[in-house]
Each structure stands twice: as C-alpha cells, then as structure tokens.
Amino acid sequence: MTDFPFQIVGFDLDGTLLDTAYDIGHALNHALAHVGRPLVPLDEARRYIGGGSAQLLHNALTVSGGLDGIDFPALQERLLAFYADNIARHTALFPGGEAMLEALAARGVHLAIATNKREDLARRLFDELGLTSRFATIIGGDTLGPGRAKPAPDMLHEMVARCGGGRAAFVGDTTFDVGAARAANLPVVAVRFGFNDLPADELGADAVIDHFDELVPTLTRIALKK
C-alpha cells in the first residue's frame, strides 16, 4: 500500500507510544526515598513525566520541599540507574499500539522515535520489549547534544533526515512534542491517553485521538487539510 500521505511518522515515547508511568514512578520514588521525601502515588506519577528525567525529578522535588540541600546530579543518576535496571517491569504499548504500528508499516511508512528520554535507555527499553526492529531510527534527548531536545525542532529535523526525507508527521502527548513539531513545521497529533501537561485539546495539535485505532484515518484527514 503506497497511497498513504506520509512517508514518515514519528512518535514520542513516554506517554505516547508506551505507558511507562509505573516503571518511571518506581524509579522516582527510589530517588525521593533516598533524600527522605514523600513518595508519589504511582497513579499520580504520570503528571510529572514529559520533559526527561531532570524535569521529572525537579518537578517532584519542587512540590515536596524544594531543591535546597539536594545534590541534584547525584540524585538524578540514582534515579536513572534504578530505572535502567527495572525499565520494562510494567511498561507496555498503549492499547491498539501494535496494530497501529503494523498498519503504518504495511503502508510503507518509516517509523521513528524522538524522545527526551536518554537514547541508551530508550533503546534498552525497546530491546526488552522486542520493538527495536520496527523503527528506522531512535533519537533520544541526548543524541544531538545539549539544548537540542524537544521542544527545539532539531530532533524532528534529524528524524526526517535519517529516514531519507519525505512528508512527515509527529505524534505526542505534551507541550514539548507539539512545540517541537510546530517549530519543525510538521503536522502533529496529540493523544488524550498520555501524560498530558495540559489538557490534550489545549496542546495546539492538529488533531487529538483517544485510541490508536484512530491514528491512521486521522493522519489521512490531516493531510487533506494541509
């Protein structure tokens, strides 16, 4: 099938393609416990996720007493080390994710990942879930160097280049994702089931979906409007 309007579809990872909230929440609580801070209920961890591990830890520390007296780099490394060792205990594709990826691949689409998660962690997670081979490229928040993660457009420009060019769209769940897509001049779909830092309908995406069953027809509809 070659009549699909996009040659490349990129995805954010946390809260978009994968529900990573419990594994990230356990890692966050491991770090918070180390400095005597209250633990975050796992069902609430998703509200801190979205801008990478530094943003995650900063947000949780801020609401539980601030950063005074905290060796932030050391605590972040403790969080990341625990997460790396427990990265796929609870994580899985959101409902409909596998069928959606297969549907896009059947249409000849290059699938890509652009995440603010560290690249080595993203690759480790996809390896453990058996998903790495599905993606033409995996770009992490540290792949291009400091200051180039989302919401800067650099990762999405690199995504398109690595996939050989062509018409591209992006799928995400936060202001970081929508901001990066807008800066890169790419159409963007937001998912309502993600770790939204604003209500999904207020993110400014071209469309919002409730389930991955909706993604292929939504991308087709967006292409007709552009």
Asked if the peptide bond before residue 151 counts as cis, ω within 30 degrees of 0, the response is: yes
12 is catalytic: yes
Choice among 3, 12, 43, 213 that is catalytic: 12
Q: How many CB atoms lie within 10 A of CB 13?
A: 22
CB 9 within 8 A of CB 109: yes
**Among candidates 1, 16, 4, 6, which has minimal Cα distance to 187?**
6
**Tokens for 81?**
């080390």
Phi, psi angles (nearest 5°) of residue 218: -65, -45
Crossing angle of helices 53-63 and 72-85, in 10° steps, is: 120
As a whole number of angstroms, the distance between CA 131 and CA 138 comes to 11
As a whole number of angstroms, the distance between CA 13 and CA 177 comes to 10
As a whole number of angstroms, the distance between CA 113 and CA 140 comes to 8
User: Which residues are identified as catalytic?
Assistant: 12
